[in-house]
Amino acid sequence: AQSVAQPEDQVNVAEGNPLTVKCTYSVSGNPYLFWYVQYPNRGLQFLLKYITGDNLVKGSYGFEAEFNKSQTSFHLKKPSALVSDSALYFCAVRFSGSARQLTFGSGTQLTVLP
């Protein structure tokens, strides 16, 4: 079965430190991978996506993600975390040959401590 997983429900990091939010996927075709962020009582906000090409994708607000085909991962990173980055982060995927809907991971709550 095709799926996406976020192995950590909660990630805590100190302000100014680098952050990583993990995402792995299981797919039978080529994956198209997305990261979204959700602030309390808000919808999902698009951060970045990987379609093809360069494995390092840069997105909004200083976030980037690295696609690793051999490890089937697409981890979200930021060199220096801000308190305002505290939110719920979702990884999502579509697969070549699949329908168009996004399949979401379970979400990771990121808390940046001042």
Site of interaction with other proteins (CB under 8 A):
32, 34, 36, 41-46, 49, 51, 90, 92, 94-96, 98-107
Nearer to other proteins by Cβ, of 82 and 102: the residue is 102
- The minimum distance between CB 68 and other proteins, in angstroms, equals 19
- The minimum distance between CB 108 and other proteins, in angstroms, equals 12
110: tokens are: 């990121």
- The minimum distance between CB 46 and other proteins, in angstroms, equals 6
Nearer to other proteins by Cβ, of 81 and 89: the residue is 89
Closest CA to 2 of 94, 67, 74: 94
Nearer to other proteins by Cβ, of 72 and 109: the residue is 109
Nearer to other proteins by Cβ, of 78 and 94: the residue is 94
Tokens 């792995």, located at residue: 24
Q: Is 36 exposed, middle or buried (0-12, 13-18, 19+ CB in 10 A)?
A: buried
Report yes or no: 8 and 22 within 8 Å, Cβ to Cβ.
yes
- The minimum distance between CB 73 and other proteins, in angstroms, equals 20
Closest CA to 8 of 27, 24, 32, 30: 24
